[in-house]
Structure formats: structure tokens, C-alpha cells
Amino acid sequence: MVQRKPEWLKIKFQDPQHINKVERLLKGLSLHTVCEEATCPNRMECFNKGTATFMILGSKCTRNCRFCDVETGKPTPVDLKEPENLAKATKELKLRHVVITSVTRDDLADGGADQFVSCIKKVREINKGTSIEVLIPDLQGNVDDLAKIVAAAPEIINHNVETVPNLYKTVMPMANYKQSLDVLVNVKKMNPKIFTKSGIMVGLGETEEEVIRLFADLREVGCDFLTVGQYLQPSKKHIPVVEYVHPEIFKDYEKVAYEMGFKHVSSGPFVRSSYNAEQTKILLDEQK
């Protein structure tokens, strides 16, 4: 049975003025955003604010996660101009906090780590004072590749666990829950000063008890920031929504997460990994 969207999931109209400006800039620099590639429900709001989450290493993913709207297939060659173009877009948009993510590139020997490093360095080179958050894939558990990104010292390294362990085989058959937790563990081992972040979707059939247990797992590995959002089915070929979680439950999750010791929590129906990520800039400035 198809779930009908409740009133709290209706998206408000957004003025297209800034949206068109951002889209033109990205197209001119041959850049992708996860906002568009993953059909994020917040893309109009974020584009209106002049913000975007850059997605490097092309627009085709090598995995087959059943929740994601990013295209799968044979990836394109790595664009060596991408780091410079991304840095230029960051400057043009006057971003104080930039988020860089990627498709999963299991076809590359380093999983795309070197491109992340190049992007971090280029952004720093021409955007003094801009903090950097990277949302990385699991790099197939390769610690050496992860070490390259950690050495580049972005302020935040994010890796999403996405869902509770019990649903991994159904939702992300090519991923591994422990391997994802290990990414967060190893970042802290390599550089405890880097903030770690993770996020999950709800509405896939998980129980509230499983969600709270996942929060505890993240805190046990020292995760600092957390995002919790509603899963929305991008198309009929994707895994269906089991439940539209009420906003009050999201508030409860936020309260519990803060009580567990997370430094910053974003929990709500429209929350995504990088939604309102610029708010973390305030936290980063406070830590200086």
C-alpha cells in the first residue's frame, strides 16, 4: 500500500531568482551538486540561500543503494579541473562553510580520496576563513585512503550510517554497518580534533528502539554531530516508504541525542546530511 504524504511534508514555494543564479554558476563550471543529483527536497530552499553541497567525482555511482536517486552505472573519468572549479564556485557563492561529497567510486584504486584532498587544498587556497565539511563514502574500509583525507584536515568528516543495522541488506546491500562505524572510529584515532558527523533516514521500517541503539553506537565511536531525516521515495523503482514519522518523534530523537552527548543535532522530516550545514560554522567558531 502506497503511503500518502502528510501535510507536514508539503514543500513551500521558493522564489527562483537565486536558484537560477546557482544553477548557471554550477553549469558553467561543470560542477554537480547532491542537491540536484539526489533530488533533495531542500534544494530550492538551499539554492535560494546561495548554498549547495558539491558532489565530486562525477554523477554516476558504483553502488546500488535502494533509497538513493543518484544514477548508477559506468563512472566518468576523474575531472582534474574539478578542485579548482569547486574552489571558484565557493568564492563566487561567498560560502563561509562548504560541504563536499561524492558518489561512491569503488572503481578507483583510492576510492576517490586523492580528489577529496585536492578539493580541500584548493578551497583553502582561495577561500581564507571558509570551513570545510566532507561527506565521504566508506572507501571500502581502506584505512590508508582515509588517512589521506584526515591529513588534509577538513574541519568536519561526515560518513552516514544511513539506517539501522537490521535494514542494511534491504536498503544498502553493498554496504556494511560495522565498516561505516569504523570510518568514524578511525578518523578520531588519526586526528581527535576533527569533528565527526553521521546521519540516518527514518521511515524505512526501523523501530524507535533500533534508532536509539544506533545513536548509542555513534556516541561510542565519538561521533560529534548527528542528522535525522525522513526517507522519501524518489521513484517507484526505489524502496517504498514504510512510515511517515511525525515531527514530534523527530523532536524526541533530538532530545535523546543531545542527552547522549552529541554536540549538534538536526532532526526533522526535511533534514538531510548537509541541510543547514552552515549552522555548524557557529559551533566551529566557538571551538576556536
Q: What is the pLDDT of residues 26-66, one digit of tens each?
A: 666 666 654 444 444 444 555 445 456 788 998 777 767 66
**Residue 237, pLDDT score:** 80
C-alpha cell at 203: 521511515
CATH superfamily of 7-287: Aldolase class I (3.20.20.70)
Residue 11: pLDDT over 80 = no
**Residue 288, pLDDT score:** 58
Q: What is the pLDDT of residues 66-99, one digit of tens each?
A: 656 667 778 889 999 999 999 998 888 888 888 8
pTM: 0.87
Kindly report each contact of residues 72-79 with a partner whose C-beta sits within 8 Å and lies 24 or more positions away, as own/partner: 75/103, 75/105, 75/107, 78/108, 78/112, 78/115, 79/30
Of 2-6, 116-120, 153-157, 169-173, least confident by mean pLDDT is: 2-6
Sketch the domain layout of the chain as residue ranges: 7-287
Q: What percent of the chain has pLDDT over 90?
A: 54
Residue 151: pLDDT over 50 = yes
Report the distance separating Cα 53 and Cα 67, nearest Å. Answer: 19
Torsion angle, CA of 160/134/238/57, rounded to 10 degrees? Answer: -140
Task: Give me the residue label for grid cell 553502488.
Answer: 63
- Using an 8 Å Cβ cutoff, are 88 and 70 in contact? no
**Residue 25, pLDDT score:** 65
Q: What is the pLDDT of residues 213-267, one digit of tens each?
A: 999 999 999 999 999 999 988 777 888 899 999 999 999 999 999 999 999 999 9
Helices (H) then strands (E): counts for the chain: 11, 10
